[in-house]
Structure 1
Amino acid sequence: MRFSQRIGKKDVRQVLQTDSIDQILENKLWNNILNDFINKIEDHAYSYQKSKRAEVFIYIWENFFELKSDEIPSYTDGDVYTEGMTEYIKKWFLNAEWYEKYDLIEFLSDLSNPLRLDFTTKVNYTLKRELAGYTIIQNKIIQITAEQEISAIENALKNGSKYKSVETHLSQALEHLSNRENPDYRNSIKESISAVEAYCAILTNDSKSTLGKALNQIEKTHKIHTALKSSFSALYGYTSDSGGIRHSLLEDDINVEIEDAKFMLVSCSAFINYLKSKE
């Protein structure tokens, strides 16, 4: 792991990929296209009929790329040169803008249904694993990471030296969430809630205060709505009770997923920003 990754210096927008596709995600999406779509389609021609792959390539050439049918990579006898077409798609994909790459993924997802391929399932796994801000639902690319969520994390990370501990916890939460080699969603959640705890301890000038105690004090001095305080106390309880994240790191009674860690990071960041506005 690189030094910048170990200390948590990752750009939020690079981690939660909403307006870009990094090299690793690009590579894996191409592997999906090649291994889970192209190579799954039979490429053997029978008598004078074109192979199924050739037929699919013609459809892609004419309906996605919208190019002249007589200009598709072909042999001298007119048969589709499928290897050449694969290279054409690869070159186009690697040079396309990030949103154009998703155009192709969406097109192939729709095409994979009649071909009975599990392409969409494999792509969704890649998107989830690489923290892309999108998923495929009913063959359409849908954004699942909102701009407000990213902004909440970015703003929460912008603190002065007084709140360095808060920034450290949030950076570590982001690092645990985005570690491709060994993602640690449990510790990501712990760091997210610890960031709130650290912020509240500084706000109340009580370094030994628990979050529950600090919230009671802040409710009185900073006019936090009771329902909001209760909601966050409940989230804190989720991580701290006898079956919570902090008490069961070595047990399997709680199945912590990427969605849980992301939700806690966004929620804790938003709550820190809310407390900032009350100072």
Structure 2
Amino acid sequence: MKFSQRIGKKPATKNIQLESIDEDLLNGLWNISKIYIIDRISRRAKYGGDTDFDLFSNILWHKFYRLPIDTIPDYDFKTEKFIRENFFKGQWYETYDFIEFLTSLDFDEINTKDFITAINSLLEHEFSAYRFIDGKIAPISNKIEVNEIQQSLEQVNYFTSLSGANIHLTNALEKLSDRKNPDYRNSIKESISAIETTCRVLTGESTLGKALNSLEHKGIKIDDQLKSGFDKIYAFTNNKQSGIRHAIIEEHNNPDFDDAKYMLVVSSSFINYLVGKCKKLGITIK
């Protein structure tokens, strides 16, 4: 973590980038595109004819920009300047259109697999809601998921008694979105702890299992299958093989971004569900 982030002058974490691309992500996408694609396309003429860069420019103008190819600048550096200016002034979705289009190119100098790997690594690092999946950029988060997390954070921040849950959820999000050192295992731990804290506050019970059963006595009817599902999720975090809530002393499975994001979204949704039920039943949450 940078000095400016440690002292709170610059954020160490960020929100999921669903319908936006911030400066760090935009710069990274351009750099990878230039290193893996644009700079690798040959600008040397073959047998006195057009260069691969000329062919690349023709394809780009014709298939992507949909512009007359006789408007392509006479010099390569001017062509690249045009490409760069369009990249940085476009809408966020146009940027992803361009990145996806680059993978359709077929030049000997280009390794599309390495390009996609580098892009996906950057998208995860910058907390983007998208990844290359089966050759296409696809969302791994949607508005509903993002809204669930945001609403849950607002809920637990509003009620004083749920301040503990607020701390757990905030920590879960921070550990998931830390750009320098994401901690997926402890993000999952914080997410499930947020559920446990919420249930214990609502019921006064000492464990999540007892709290889920006690909720029914307060009139909050939870379907047996749903309750069983959360029991199993809690059991997963307590499983020694997962190493989530136990010391890592044997071979274990390392959770990844998708595991941690899933747990954060599920935990947020369940907290919203419980708070919503309490409001409907007139149960006071201080």
Q: TM-score range with shorter-chain normalisation?
A: 0.7 to 0.9
Q: How does 1:69-148 map to 2 (within 5 A)?
A: 69-74=69-74, 81-112=75-106, 117-118=112-113, 119-148=115-144
Query: Who is 1:63 aligned against?
Result: 63
The within-5 A match list for 1:256-275 is: 256-275=255-274
What does the per-residue CA deviation read over 1:110-138, in whole Å, with 9 as the maximum and x for residues that have no partner?
22588553323332232233221122334
Which position in structure 2 is the counterpart of 1:170? 169
Q: Which secondary structure does the structure 2 equivalent of 1:242 belong to?
A: coil
- Separation in 2 of the partners of 1:132 and 1:251? 33
Distance 1:238 1:84, change over 3 A: same
User: Is 48-57 or 139-148 further displaced after alignment?
Assistant: 139-148
CA contact (8 A) 1:110 1:139 kept: no
Three-state SS of the structure 2 residue aligned to 1:135 is strand
Give the conservation status (yes or no) of the 8 Å contact 1:8–1:175.
no
Q: Normalising to structure 2: TM-score of the pair?
A: 0.85
Cα gap change, 1:180/1:250 in structure 2, threshold over 3 Å: closer, same or farther? farther
Output the CA distance in 1 between the equivalents of 2:197 and 2:247. 22
Counterpart-to-counterpart distance in 2, 1:199 and 1:155: 15
| Percent of aligned pairs sharing the same letter | 40
- Please give the per-residue CA displacement for 1:182-228, whole angstroms capped at 9, x wherever unaligned: 1100110011011111101110134xx12122112124432111111
Separation of aligned partners in 2, 1:59 and 1:255: 43
Q: Stretches of 4+ moved more than 3 A in 1? A: 3-10, 112-116, 248-252
Structure 1 counterpart of 2:102, which letter? L
C-alpha displacement of 1:6 = 10
1:223 alignment partner AA: K
Q: State which drifts further: 121-130 or 222-231.
A: 121-130
Given the superposition, is the C-alpha separation of residues 5 and 100 from structure 1 closer, same or farther in structure 2, using an over 3 Å criterion? farther
> Which residue of 2 is the match for residue 225 of structure 1?
223
The answer to whether the 8 Å contact 2:241/2:250 transfers is: no
Aligned pair in 2 of structure 1 residues 276, 135: CA closer, same or farther (>3 Å)?
Answer: same
CA distance in 2, matches of 1:84, 1:23: 24
- Ranges in structure 1 where 5+ consecutive residues have no aligned partner: 75-80
**Residue 242 of structure 1 pairs with residue 236 of structure 2:** no
Please give the TM-score of this superposition, normalised by the length of structure 1.
Answer: 0.87
Helix, strand or coil: the match of 2:154? coil
